Chains A and B, each alone.
Chain A
């Protein structure tokens, strides 16, 4: 059993490393693999170095962070809600982020405010992050009052639908240009993150992942449900707050910078469970991180190869997995 896990972890790590290099090698400009590798080590022509290091490396790192963050937040939500179809967005994190972006991209032009292109990139991420954070604060505040975790799930769904309706109203009254920027944002993109933004993104994701590590034992106990977990000494409200905060930092931040990227969060934890045949989060957390990274890198390679938005690729990759999960053995 332990050997099985060690081999799998090694294979997955190697796979991730290979995919990382392939992801950097693939792009609109054809660069031979050898030149890519030498550029990574700081030699080669200036032009190639600039493409590889400033554009492709940043994008590949974003893919790694996005894959890990979304997958882990999905794992946390599935445990917290004891629902295999929960994902990072069940609590309305993406709805909150969308609302922030809609207010910024659609609301400002309606009010007659002109947004410059540079302001648009920073403003979009900022608005999405504030939207997600506001939703988090509401959810954490509610979770301290509401005892039944299923009520939280329903409130999250209602919040998402309500916000969706308001966003549609705003879309209805928007001009073509701002409507397009909003729709493009909802399709997701790993390529719009600059090196400066990456410097903000990375520490937040690392903090979120560290909080997830702190929830390993609570998650193992929550497998038996909140009543049992409490009887074994778990502080339920503190664990809930920790898990919710971690999820929002991870999913909220990635959504802010890359747009809502679907299905990674729902599908990857199941891939990890199937591969490692474990219910222990000491195994599942690193397994989910590695599987998430691998899936997102594959998604990004395909997105670049076929020039498609990342959200469509992850959906097409994730849906068959989710369908398989809910239909097998039944």
Chain B
């Protein structure tokens, strides 16, 4: 589904990752973990922009901006709260790669938006202003926006940050449903190992400029070593 081949990444003059590769397939939920500054966000950025990224067999640079937008959706750490922008308007932004020059929404687009809102459990929030939402509610809406973009791949940068513990588990379960029921390929960076462990298929661990991906069963001892010493 998505492959990174032999990538080295640096942040300014500092090398973060040296000659790493990563393969993810559809229906896979993978958590990206590593210490602060290890390069999780940088790696996520590379997945949408690096020339060595191969999406469904096609190198990233051979895809048009529109094709790329129809392949990968992202959820960043930024919280979008805009006055007068309603929940459904924010989710409808995800339809941008499919609508015409002025962004006209057709019935099918509205239907997709409605389903995406329902999928994240925010149906009761239709008509609400995004500037009135809590962090957890807004995070769900941002995920709904990514769903509405109808991409086989979703990348999320710390989707559980700033959320309370029950909501962290809920967001992880939501991502698991998307991967396992809809067959999406989902990679998300997180520090919430406890919420990620029960639902993830695999863990990508960044340490000392290296990256290794392990199935969840084999990852636990590594995670223990990394996080709980």
B108 within 8 A of A: no
Residues facing A in B99-122 (CB within 8 A) are: 99, 101-103
Task: Pick from A217, A235, A279, A280: contact of B96, CB below 8 A.
Answer: A217
Contact (Cβ within 8 A) A231 B84 = no
Contact (Cβ within 8 A) A273 B84 = yes
A144 within 8 A of B: no
Contact (Cβ within 8 A) A279 B102 = no
* B160, chain A: closest CB distance, angstroms: 19
Q: For the complex, what is the distance from the CA of A191 to the CA of B9, rounded to whole Å?
A: 60
Contact (Cβ within 8 A) B74 A279 = no
Contact (Cβ within 8 A) B76 A216 = no
Q: For the complex, what is the distance from the CA of A230 to the CA of B73, rounded to whole Å?
A: 10
Task: Pick from B78, B85, B94, B96: contact of A234, CB below 8 A.
Answer: B96
* B39, chain A: closest CB distance, angstroms: 17
Contacts of A221 in B (CB 8 A): 93, 96
A173 within 8 A of B: no
Contact (Cβ within 8 A) B78 A282 = no
Task: Pick from A224, A230, A273, A280: contact of B80, CB below 8 A.
Answer: A224
Task: Pick from A216, A227, A279, A282: contact of B82, CB below 8 A.
Answer: A279
Contact (Cβ within 8 A) B73 A220 = no
Task: Pick from B78, B90, B96: contact of A233, CB below 8 A.
Answer: B96
* A102, chain B: closest CB distance, angstroms: 39
Contacts of A305 in B (CB 8 A): none
Q: For the complex, what is the distance from the CA of A279 to the CA of B102, rounded to whole Å?
A: 14
Contact with B along A213-228 (1 / 0, CB 8 A): 0101100110111011
* A95, chain B: closest CB distance, angstroms: 30
A180 within 8 A of B: no
Task: Pick from B85, B89, B102, B149: contact of A232, CB below 8 A.
Answer: B149
B68 within 8 A of A: yes
Contact with B along A264-296 (1 / 0, CB 8 A): 000000000100011110100000000000000
Closest partner residue, chain A, to B155 (CB atom): A231
Contact (Cβ within 8 A) B93 A231 = no
* B169, chain A: closest CB distance, angstroms: 26
Interface residues on B, range: 20 to 34
Task: Pick from A216, A228, A235, A278: contact of B93, CB below 8 A.
Answer: A228
Contacts A233-B65, A233-B66 given: A217-B72 contact, CB under 8 Å? no
Closest partner residue, chain B, to A277 (CB atom): B84
Task: Pick from A217, A224, A230: contact of B103, CB below 8 A.
Answer: A217
Contacts of B97 in A (CB 8 A): 232-233
Contact (Cβ within 8 A) A279 B84 = yes
Contact (Cβ within 8 A) B93 A220 = yes
Closest partner residue, chain A, to B90 (CB atom): A224
Contacts of B73 in A (CB 8 A): 231
B69 within 8 A of A: yes
Contact with B along A187-228 (1 / 0, CB 8 A): 000000000000000000000000000101100110111011
Contact (Cβ within 8 A) A214 B101 = yes
Q: For the complex, what is the distance from the CA of A110 to the CA of B96, rounded to whole Å?
A: 56
* B103, chain A: closest CB distance, angstroms: 4
Contacts of B194 in A (CB 8 A): none
* A182, chain B: closest CB distance, angstroms: 40
Contacts of A227 in B (CB 8 A): 74, 76, 78
Contacts of A282 in B (CB 8 A): 102-103
Contact (Cβ within 8 A) A232 B80 = no
B224 within 8 A of A: no
Contact (Cβ within 8 A) B84 A232 = no
Contact with A along B208-219 (1 / 0, CB 8 A): 000000000000
Contacts of A217 in B (CB 8 A): 96, 99, 101-103
Q: For the complex, what is the distance from the CA of A221 to the CA of B94, rounded to whole Å?
A: 9
Q: For the complex, what is the distance from the CA of A214 to the CA of B100, rounded to whole Å?
A: 11
Q: For the complex, what is the distance from the CA of A216 to the CA of B72, rounded to whole Å?
A: 24
Task: Pick from B65, B85, B101, B103: contact of A279, CB below 8 A.
Answer: B85
Q: For the complex, what is the distance from the CA of A280 to the CA of B88, rounded to whole Å?
A: 12
Contact (Cβ within 8 A) A216 B96 = no
B interface residues with partner A (beta carbon < 8 Å) = 48, 65-66, 68-70, 72-74, 76, 78, 80, 82-85, 89-90, 93-94, 96-97, 99, 101-103, 149
Pairs across A and B, CB under 8 Å, 27 listed: A214-B101, A217-B96, A217-B101, A217-B102, A224-B90, A224-B93, A225-B76, A225-B80, A227-B76, A228-B74, A228-B80, A228-B93, A231-B69, A231-B72, A231-B73, A231-B74, A232-B69, A232-B94, A232-B96, A233-B66, A233-B96, A234-B96, A273-B84, A277-B84, A279-B84, A279-B85, A280-B89
A interface residues with partner B (beta carbon < 8 Å) = 214, 216-217, 220-221, 223-225, 227-228, 230-235, 273, 277-280, 282
Which 6 pairs of residues, A with B, have the shortest CB-CB distance?
Answer: A233-B69, A279-B85, A217-B103, A232-B96, A279-B84, A233-B97
